[in-house]
Chain A
């Protein structure tokens, strides 16, 4: 039985209880103490998010400056429990307007208790959809939407919504201007060896949508992925168009997507929830266009001097540019003095993370700025321990670029009233874990 939780606690970093909600009696009331004593106050913290103490299992997650701890006494479904926490946090965030931290919890603890009551009953997760919950849990909600007294904002049939079949969208929405925003957000993960060969590289992407549409619209999304295109050309019995097609390794969809239709016709069709949501996630390992190449040369000159040369090459279109590029070049702990020369951006030595941090705010395509630095080290007696070189890490954002090459071919909106919609599509590629060994 996938009991997700016997109790759930929110603690701050000092271990003070912010929220505690006991769902079942099969765990004792002093579980927080056990958690504090055996996990928070020991080196165990952070070594493993699932721990057993006594007969109980503790799952914990740190989210900003809060620990969320779930306690169970049975052989619970861990994936379900963690997913529940993540979803719950997303729900709280949508209520608090973005932030989820100790202050937000203290300011809203009554609301959190209310929500915790609704989203889980006796250890079983219930409806967690913010769309629905917001219909009947409002802090202003002096009275509930069902009450017979006239209220200024009538919400038809809300209890059906609470548990109904189209759980993610309510009826009767009206917008003056019907708009759809679609963002393709990709993060590139790279691990490159010091010799410049790619050890591992993949892209995880997600399609985020923001819908402001009236009524119950049906949407259809076409991408330039291989399977979808092949299927289409099969159906229309014409040869596939030339051009780049993308092979998606794996796709997952928001619950609103009709999966049966995806499997038979390979098109993504759905009735979207109102507002913001994540439509799909995908993963690609083949044919990834790396936006940057990093060519480091690090020479250790004797015991007290190092020479660092790093060249970064942008390999996307010359008209495009990357934003917020940060390159972290590790140096030994005993660094005493550094001096730089950069052809673009700014660099400085940050002792706290033992790195030279090179920042370039705007990085045009097809350019290759360089950094050359001299690093002086304090000579220490413990010379035996040679420096292990951590990888160079990189952060960046490249708008209008997808590392996978994925493109939206069409986005059709169909609603029975036949209104016109405005569609906005954006692309952005970010660095996931972009590591280059040196």
Chain B
């Protein structure tokens, strides 16, 4: 039955040479349009094919619209389909011409052949032209009542398309209730499934404005309806089964016997060949049993085998999708999987994204009984050709070492890594040994013997070098040549490009000095001198700090810089359990693959018109914050863990001055946001705009170093803003309606700023550091729209701003409304200065 592969190769779409071909086609189409000669359909087909292939490669063939429509009067179904495809593609840009097609599409909707009826209806709804919706209602209405299920199936999706073009038309025609009727009574399961998808979308979107819709949405997860679907689940096609299972996860059974009934009913779905069905079923099981701890455990045991099968079958991409879910479960309950660790062994040819997940799982399931095997296996990977994976596996060994009590064997392995004499292995191992020593200081003798043999010249990576230097400083008492190694590093100060390494070098020199003063003194002097002359601000500051504290009192300095160490018992986790739970709630979706909850990545501003929903206001703020946190938090952990407590204070302070975002928090609502700013303002200087020059003046004065004071470029206006301002979106909306426009002006944005504005978040962060908060944002390049608000310091007087930025012209249109009209000019100056600095700092 399959058509034989066409022997003649259709003219492969030659690369766009442009207009002459298109006008040529136009001519030919015109000639064929009226012809009724035999064989004309075949020549039309060839022409249509050409048109479609041009369209596919991106040549604009919209000028043929008229001719294509004229040629569409044919009984050839393939021709019709090509024509529909063409029309669907260009109707949106040619709304007037699209009107031409309505006629023939409507006629086809009444064709005696259900296939043609269905096709025409689908194309009619795919035109996506807002002013043509009136023509859709009639055909859709009769399509939904069609005797043929194929047409009904298409019509149901058509209703959903109509809803997305014009929601009001769809609601006014009362289509949702017709769909509901179909969903409950149609004999065809595909029609039912499509109704379900359509209604879920429509009612979810309507629920915020209409009570009825939200009631209907609730009714979808009511007991009778869920049971109706569950009892028919085997009749649905595999994709529709996913849909139904998805809905079942939202259902809350009344008691445990109901839960068991559902699980028994769905048990056999775990044997379905379609992995998506299996995953959806697993999700149902996990959600249903969340509150029943022991059953939940049994569910884990039950789903293990199907998951492992799915991982080992199918393409790498598919197994990656499943593996990510398995990964999530392993992280939640490692002990359940601890005997299955062999399944997580990597194969040599597996793609690295699969290997990476497997390494993490191996790390997680390691316990007393299997650690030896796992670590042995991981050591094999350390010699892997794939360097990133080799690094990951060394890190994994380290992680296992840090979570185990019996680390004897592992320490030996790590030390063997150091002797492998491969740059990257040495580098990773050094970092690990450092962490290990901080948790288990008792191993210092063994480690130091090996570390001492490593030449610092062979270590190039900043992180590893920093770790080595830290150990040299920390254990300078036990390492014979520590002062000399450090000393030679100081001599090559200028060749050291990483500020992190230089910072560590300063601290290590100090520690070394306290342990072995006579050998270090001269080198320390050189280090401090080099540090003070350093162009990097942090290095410069730290050197000065050490210098001054040494001059003040050496014993105080020792207490500050080199206090007795306490072993770190637990290293901070990078992801909060709250976030992990949210990911778990979104099982079987992208969240699991990205390892973050959906609100962090489903970008609302790409959805078209700006919305004022509460949700959006909170989301854009929460999102901005959360996007920053993970990386920064990790960095911060790393840094803080390396430093002693006193240093932590210092760096924290300095970093808080610079950025308003260094305190990690994971709030997604304005209330949390407010509390965060409180912390922040407690640490940092309240006059944000002008504080940094002042601060450095003070130091310079104290030291009398005579560095010429940089003149303050921008003197901040007198107006002070509240750093912890909070305003809920509804109040904002209300005020925006009530207040008159106090000021309206055009502000230029710096070109760098305009270039940096690819997504709104960057600007939101920037403005927030100037105490101007965003409540909603949207738009797409080049036009972005923002609503900001600010509050006067110690007064509850609000400023509301609407700001439309065009990135291509680097101009911003700003409308300001204020409670207190008198200060609106001051605020405007402040806003302008804040905005103009965006991208330049």
Residues of A within 8 A of B (CB): 1-2, 4, 16-20, 24-28, 46-50, 52, 54-57, 59-61, 72-80, 82-84, 86, 94-97, 99, 103-104, 106-111, 113-114, 117, 121-122, 124-129, 134-136, 138-148, 159-160, 162-165, 167, 189, 191, 199-200, 202, 204, 249-255, 259-260, 262-263, 278, 280-283, 384-386, 388-391, 393, 433, 435, 437
**Would B603 and A55 count as touching, CB distance under 8 A?**
yes
Interface size on B, residues (CB 8 A): 123
* A-B pairs with beta carbons under 8 Å apart, 23 shown: A55-B603, A82-B317, A86-B315, A86-B318, A96-B2, A108-B6, A109-B56, A110-B81, A121-B154, A124-B239, A142-B77, A146-B114, A147-B113, A159-B115, A167-B237, A251-B271, A252-B273, A253-B271, A281-B273, A283-B313, A386-B421, A388-B384, A433-B347
Cβ of B618 under 8 Å from chain A:
no
The proximity string for B residues 136-168 relative to A, scoring 1 for CB distances below 8 Å and 0 otherwise, is 000000000000111001100100110010000
Residues of chain A contacted by B716 (CB below 8 angstroms): none
Given A121-B157, A165-B189, do A390 and B348 touch, yes or no (CB 8 Å)? Answer: yes
**Would A159 and B148 count as touching, CB distance under 8 A?**
yes
**What separation, in Å, do the CA atoms of A109 and B5 have in the docked complex?**
12
**What separation, in Å, do the CA atoms of A95 and B2 have in the docked complex?**
5
Beta-carbon contacts under 8 Å, B580-598 to A: 586, 588-594, 598
CB-CB nearest 8 A-B residue pairs: A55-B603, A259-B268, A55-B606, A250-B305, A125-B239, A144-B115, A80-B276, A75-B598
The proximity string for B residues 4-19 relative to A, scoring 1 for CB distances below 8 Å and 0 otherwise, is 1110011011000000
The interface centre, meaning the residue of B1, B268, B308, B421 with most chain A CB atoms within 10 A of its CB, is B1
Q: Which segment, of B29-37, B190-198, B429-437, B485-493, faces chain A? A: B190-198
Beta-carbon contacts under 8 Å, B68-96 to A: 75-78, 81-82, 85
The interface centre, meaning the residue of A27, A200, A260, A384 with most chain B CB atoms within 10 A of its CB, is A200
Give the contacting residue for A253; candidates B57, B164, B272, B593; CB below 8 A.
B272
**Would A162 and B78 count as touching, CB distance under 8 A?**
no
The interface centre, meaning the residue of B78, B345, B377 with most chain A CB atoms within 10 A of its CB, is B78
**Would B76 and A142 count as touching, CB distance under 8 A?**
yes
**Would A78 and B321 count as touching, CB distance under 8 A?**
yes
Residues of chain A contacted by B161 (CB below 8 angstroms): 122
Give the contacting residue for B275; candidates A83, A124, A146; CB below 8 A.
A83
**Would A121 and B194 count as touching, CB distance under 8 A?**
yes
**Would B115 and A146 count as touching, CB distance under 8 A?**
yes
Residues of chain B contacted by A145 (CB below 8 angstroms): 115
**Would A253 and B239 count as touching, CB distance under 8 A?**
no
Residues of chain B contacted by A73 (CB below 8 angstroms): 602-603, 606-607
Q: Which segment, of B349-357, B449-457, B533-541, B561-569, faces chain A? A: B349-357
The interface centre, meaning the residue of B150, B586, B591 with most chain A CB atoms within 10 A of its CB, is B150
Cβ of B522 under 8 Å from chain A:
no
Residues of chain A contacted by B9 (CB below 8 angstroms): 103, 106-107
**Would A435 and B348 count as touching, CB distance under 8 A?**
yes
Given A122-B160, A252-B272, do A57 and B267 touch, yes or no (CB 8 Å)? Answer: no
**What separation, in Å, do the CA atoms of A73 and B607 have in the docked complex?**
9
Given A95-B3, A113-B81, do A74 and B602 touch, yes or no (CB 8 Å)? Answer: yes
Distance (whole angstroms) from the CB of B584 to the closest CB of chain A: 14
Residues of B within 8 A of A (CB): 1-6, 9-10, 12-13, 41, 48-49, 52-53, 56-58, 75-78, 81-82, 85, 112-116, 122, 128, 148-150, 153-154, 157, 160-161, 164, 188-191, 193-194, 197, 200-201, 204, 234-235, 237-239, 242-243, 246, 267-269, 271-276, 278-280, 305-306, 308-309, 312-318, 320-322, 324-325, 342-343, 345, 347-349, 351-353, 377, 380, 383-385, 420-422, 586, 588-594, 598, 601-608, 759, 780
Given A82-B321, A249-B308, do A139 and B3 touch, yes or no (CB 8 Å)? Answer: yes
**Would B190 and A126 count as touching, CB distance under 8 A?**
yes
**Would A281 and B313 count as touching, CB distance under 8 A?**
yes
Distance (whole angstroms) from the CB of A173 to the closest CB of chain B: 12
**What separation, in Å, do the CA atoms of A350 and B4 have in the docked complex?**
39
Residues of chain A contacted by B49 (CB below 8 angstroms): 109-110
**Would A204 and B312 count as touching, CB distance under 8 A?**
yes
**What separation, in Å, do the CA atoms of A249 and B606 have in the docked complex?**
45
**Would B314 and A433 count as touching, CB distance under 8 A?**
no
**Would B153 and A126 count as touching, CB distance under 8 A?**
yes
**What separation, in Å, do the CA atoms of A129 and B75 have in the docked complex?**
26
Give the contacting residue for A262; candidates B1, B268, B345, B384; CB below 8 A.
B268
Interface residues of chain B: helix, strand, loop or mixed (majority): helix
**What separation, in Å, do the CA atoms of A255 and B276 have in the docked complex?**
13
Number of residue pairs spanning A and B whose beta carbons lie under 8 angstroms apart:
310
Given A97-B4, A109-B52, A254-B273, do A79 and B345 touch, yes or no (CB 8 Å)? Answer: no
Given A106-B10, A437-B380, do A189 and B312 touch, yes or no (CB 8 Å)? Answer: yes
Residues of chain B contacted by A74 (CB below 8 angstroms): 602
Residues of chain B contacted by A111 (CB below 8 angstroms): 3
**Would B276 and A83 count as touching, CB distance under 8 A?**
yes
Residue of A nearest to B347 (CB): A433
Residues of chain B contacted by A189 (CB below 8 angstroms): 312, 347
**Would B2 and A2 count as touching, CB distance under 8 A?**
no
Distance (whole angstroms) from the CB of A13 to the closest CB of chain B: 15
Given A146-B115, A147-B113, A435-B347, do A110 and B149 touch, yes or no (CB 8 Å)? Answer: no
Residues of chain B contacted by A159 (CB below 8 angstroms): 114-115, 148-150
Residues of chain A contacted by B279 (CB below 8 angstroms): 79
The interface centre, meaning the residue of B200, B204, B590 with most chain A CB atoms within 10 A of its CB, is B590
Residues of chain A contacted by B235 (CB below 8 angstroms): 165
Interface residues of chain A: helix, strand, loop or mixed (majority): mixed
**What separation, in Å, do the CA atoms of A140 and B41 have in the docked complex?**
12
**What separation, in Å, do the CA atoms of A72 and B589 have in the docked complex?**
12
Distance (whole angstroms) from the CB of B187 to the closest CB of chain A: 9
Give the contacting residue for A83; candidates B190, B237, B274; CB below 8 A.
B274
**What separation, in Å, do the CA atoms of A253 and B316 have in the docked complex?**
21
**What separation, in Å, do the CA atoms of A388 and B116 have in the docked complex?**
63
Give the contacting residue for B590; candidates A57, A109, A391; CB below 8 A.
A57
**What separation, in Å, do the CA atoms of A416 and B238 have in the docked complex?**
29
**What separation, in Å, do the CA atoms of A74 and B75 have in the docked complex?**
39
Residues of chain B contacted by A82 (CB below 8 angstroms): 314-315, 317-318, 321
**What separation, in Å, do the CA atoms of A249 and B1 have in the docked complex?**
38
**What separation, in Å, do the CA atoms of A251 and B383 have in the docked complex?**
36
Distance (whole angstroms) from the CB of B644 to the closest CB of chain A: 36
Residues of chain B contacted by A254 (CB below 8 angstroms): 273
Give the contacting residue for A202; candidates B312, B377, B380; CB below 8 A.
B312
**Would B385 and A390 count as touching, CB distance under 8 A?**
yes
Residue of B nearest to A93 (CB): B2
Residues of chain B contacted by A126 (CB below 8 angstroms): 153, 190, 194, 237, 239
Distance (whole angstroms) from the CB of A430 to the closest CB of chain B: 14
**What separation, in Å, do the CA atoms of A106 and B593 have in the docked complex?**
33
Give the contacting residue for A54; candidates B75, B305, B306, B603; CB below 8 A.
B603
Residues of chain B contacted by A99 (CB below 8 angstroms): 5
Residues of chain A contacted by B112 (CB below 8 angstroms): 147-148
**Would B5 and A107 count as touching, CB distance under 8 A?**
yes
5 further A-B pairs in the complex, CB-CB below 8 A; given A49-B320, A59-B317, A283-B309? A72-B590, A73-B602, A144-B77, A252-B272, A253-B271
The interface centre, meaning the residue of B235, B239, B594 with most chain A CB atoms within 10 A of its CB, is B239
Residue of A nearest to B388 (CB): A47
Given A54-B606, A144-B116, A163-B191, do A61 and B56 touch, yes or no (CB 8 Å)? Answer: no
Distance (whole angstroms) from the CB of A406 to the closest CB of chain B: 15
**Would B164 and A25 count as touching, CB distance under 8 A?**
yes
**What separation, in Å, do the CA atoms of A164 and B235 have in the docked complex?**
9
**What separation, in Å, do the CA atoms of A251 and B310 have in the docked complex?**
10
Residues of chain A contacted by B238 (CB below 8 angstroms): 255
Residues of chain A contacted by B76 (CB below 8 angstroms): 142-143
Give the contacting residue for A143; candidates B75, B234, B269, B276; CB below 8 A.
B75
Residues of chain B contacted by A19 (CB below 8 angstroms): 56
Residue of A nearest to B317 (CB): A49
Distance (whole angstroms) from the CB of A227 to the closest CB of chain B: 12
Give the contacting residue for A127; candidates B1, B237, B271; CB below 8 A.
B237
